[in-house]
Structure 1
Amino acid sequence: MSASFVSPGGAGAPRSCFVDDGGIRWRMTVRGEGPVALLVHGAGASSHSFAKLSERLARRFTAVAIDLPGHADTRVLRSFDPSLPRVADALRRLDDKLELRPELVIGHSAGVAVLLRWVLDGCARPPIVIALAPALVPIRGLVGGVFRSAAAVLGASIAPKGIAIGMATTARVDSILRGVGSVLDAAGVEAYRELIARPEHVRGVLSMMARWDVVPVYDALPTLSVPVLVVAGADDRAISLAQVREATARLRHATLLVLPGVGHLLHEEQPDQVATAINDYVDRQQRPDHAHNARARGGHPWPC
């Protein structure tokens, strides 16, 4: 069953709430009405990253954006294992509990890997997948091992507090964002500065990076039968176009779109272009029951 819900305040009224499930206190932001589009951000970000895109998608979908476990306002027990399979399984349980049944899933960077792991593990109804700047090509060999080990050491020490204190300046955050090829407005830079200033958020990011292993997802890409739209920024300095093309070539039903003049945070830089690309792709992939679901209206088991 695919869910379709109405926002009490209409498409222009976003609202946030918390959902407790399996030792995780999820924060989710809901906007719009219609079939559900689930949005999952990348490492280091939060659901705020999708604010502009959600606003545009809300004209057609119920846009549900979550904070990943350990990120921003989604809280986890210290015993939680933030490995890719465990995060994907936590998302599956959230989907089951709330009966989201999304028609469309949209991931950015590491969020794409989370969503594809969920699909590979057998989500209730495989959705259309939108992969924005997907982080799917493994960091292999010694470099990958050193990367994960360093993240583990930093996450388990007092480093998160030091990083939060030392890095959370507007100039440094703007420099980091420009370093991945993205130029955001003052509000966009401030949103990331506020995130980096939170030690628990930094700890959650480092913990996930320490357990990150995308190799099984990468190896399984040829087995995916769902339609995938891959959208990349031509100026992305975090995920190269060569990596994006490598991952796309392994997918059986993928379309690649490269947007000029944008970097890794393409959906924040050009939300109109990205929303248009998504809507056009969904139109081309229309499913037999989509029109029915889009007309369906009713309640939902969400607290927001």
Structure 2
Amino acid sequence: MGYYLDWATDGAGWPNRQASRFVEAAGMRWHVQVMGDGPPLLLLHGTGASTHSWRDVMPKLAQHFTVIAPDLPGHAFTIRPTPESLSLPGMAAAVARLLQALKVEPVRAAGHSAGAAVMVRMAVERLFAPRDLVSFNGAFFPVSGMAGQFFSPLARAFANASLIQKVFARMADRKAVERLLRDTGSNIDAEGVSLYQRLFSNEGHVAGALGMMAAWDLHWVPQDLRNLPLPLTLVWASNDRTIAPAKAAEAARLTRQPRLIEMKGLGHLAHEEDPATAAAIIAAPERFALR
């Protein structure tokens, strides 16, 4: 396996491979999947993931939408990210340039974890103009206390240390990946575990994920929520061990037009655990909202 994932070999058997294409935008070669026929709908994955996290959601949404799901900069098959593209504003601008290259204007966007913060920043900066947004376990707030003081500098150090990246990639055996995924509060299927293992075993993907963590500053995202000019549906999972479920209510208090939806008994990767419900929520969030 090379530094970056290779589509011909590492991409063999990739979920929804027939929907994949490669696009040049913002100084990078993007892997993006486009599926279906109807109003454009954008899906953004979280840190360390890829298009595979929407693998079972996309076909269901494609019955009603033209679904667009990219690998974010530095993740999976979107390679050679620029340093600025790994920050929150830089990633938002890069995704906007990808949409321009694809000549699509999404009517709705859904994002998981860090992907939710990207789409909110895009909307606040008027980089796109969907009707509304749907967040799954959105990463909208900085890690507080001692953990925040420790992990952010640690990520910056690791992101600049090629030896650490190699060690991380080599340590990603199946048991380690299963343990990491369980620690999110989620129980995903064997295919999902194998796909995450494929990603975490690649040095380029690990470098992209660590670089994203190192470059992000979430301290201004609460202000983004206050300035958000359109409705935001906040989907939270009751067993999420990565982002406290209470953070969804906190985000709702900051947002002018919030909806709240609970996915009971699921963890941080709720959209992978229950893709049918996740797709139904994305298609018609108003039907599920608690308020």
> Please, what TM-score do these two structures have when normalized by structure 1?
0.85
Q: Is residue 275 of structure 2 the alignment partner of residue 271 of structure 1? A: yes
Query: What is aligned with 1:7?
Result: none
Report the alpha carbon displacement of residue 81 of structure 1 after superposing the two structures with TM: 4.5
Distance in 1 (CA, whole Å) between partners of 2:120 and 2:288 is 21
| Aligned partner (choices 208, 214, 225) of residue 212 of structure 2 | 208
How far apart are the structure 2 equivalents of 1:252 and 1:80?
Answer: 30
Residue 139 of structure 2: aligned partner:
135
Q: Distance in 1 between matches of 2:83 and 2:197?
A: 27
Aligned to 1:40: 44
Among 134, 144, 148, the residue aligned to 2:152: 148
- The corresponding residue for 2:166 is 161
Stretches of structure 2 lacking an aligned partner (at least 5 in a row): 1-15
**Partner Cα distance (1:199, 1:13) in 2:** 22
Per-residue CA deviations over 1:182-207 (Å, capped at 9, x if unaligned) read: 00111111010111000100001001
* 2:181 partner amino acid: L
Q: State the alpha-carbon separation in 1 of the partners of residues 275 and 288 from structure 2.
A: 20
How big is the shift at 1:78?
Answer: 5.4
Within a 5 Å distance, the mapping from 1:219-238 to structure 2 comes to 219-238=223-242
One-letter identity of the residue aligned with 1:161: K
- Label 1:40 to 1:162 Cα distance change in 2 as closer, same or farther (>3 A): same
Counterparts of 1:232-271 in structure 2 under 5 Å? 232-271=236-275
Confirm or deny: 8 A CA contact 1:137 1:246 kept in the other structure. no
Query: 197, 215, 231: which one pairs with 2:201?
Result: 197
What amino acid is the match of 1:65?
A
1:283–1:245 distance in 2 versus 1, CA, 3 Å: closer
Provide the rounded CA distance (Å) in 2 between the counterparts of 1:250 and 1:80.
28
Distance 1:14 1:129, change over 3 A: farther
CA contact (8 A) 1:57 1:275 kept: yes
Residue number in structure 1 paired with 2:31: 27
Question: What is the aligned partner in structure 2 of residue 298 from structure 1?
Answer: none
Aligned mates of 1:69, 1:116 — CA distance in 2:
17
Residue 217 of structure 1 corresponds to which residue in structure 2?
Answer: 221
Paired residues of 2:84 and 2:91 also in contact (CA < 8 A)? no
State the shift of 1:104 in Å: 0.9
Residue among 97, 107, 117 paired with 1:103: 107
Provide the residue aligned with 1:17 in structure 2: 21
Q: State the match for 1:175 in structure 2.
A: 179
Q: Is the 8 A contact 1:82 1:207 kept in 2?
A: yes
CA distance in 2, matches of 1:101, 1:250: 26
Structure 2 Cα separation of the partners of residues 280 and 255 of structure 1: 12
Match of 2:10 in 1: none
Cα shift at 1:146: 2.8
Aligned residues: 273
**Does the aligned pair in 1 maintain the 2:28–2:82 contact within 8 Å?**
no
Shift of 1:282: 6.0
Contact 1:13 1:32 in 2 (8 A): no
Alignment partner, residue 94 of structure 1 = 98
2:54 pairs with 1:50 = yes
Provide the rounded CA distance (Å) in 2 between the counterparts of 1:254 and 1:80. Answer: 30
Q: Answer with 1 or 2: which has the greater Rg.
A: 1
- Percent of paired sites with the same residue: 37
For each residue in 1:152-172, what CA deviation from the matched residue of structure 2 results, as whole angstroms up to 9, or x when unmatched? 111111111110101x21111
Whole-Å separation in 1 of the counterparts to 2:190 and 2:210: 26
Find the counterpart in structure 1 of residue 123 from structure 2: 119
Separation in structure 2 between the aligned mates of residue 229 and residue 79 of structure 1, nearest angstrom: 31
Alignment gaps of 5+ in structure 1: 1-11, 286-304
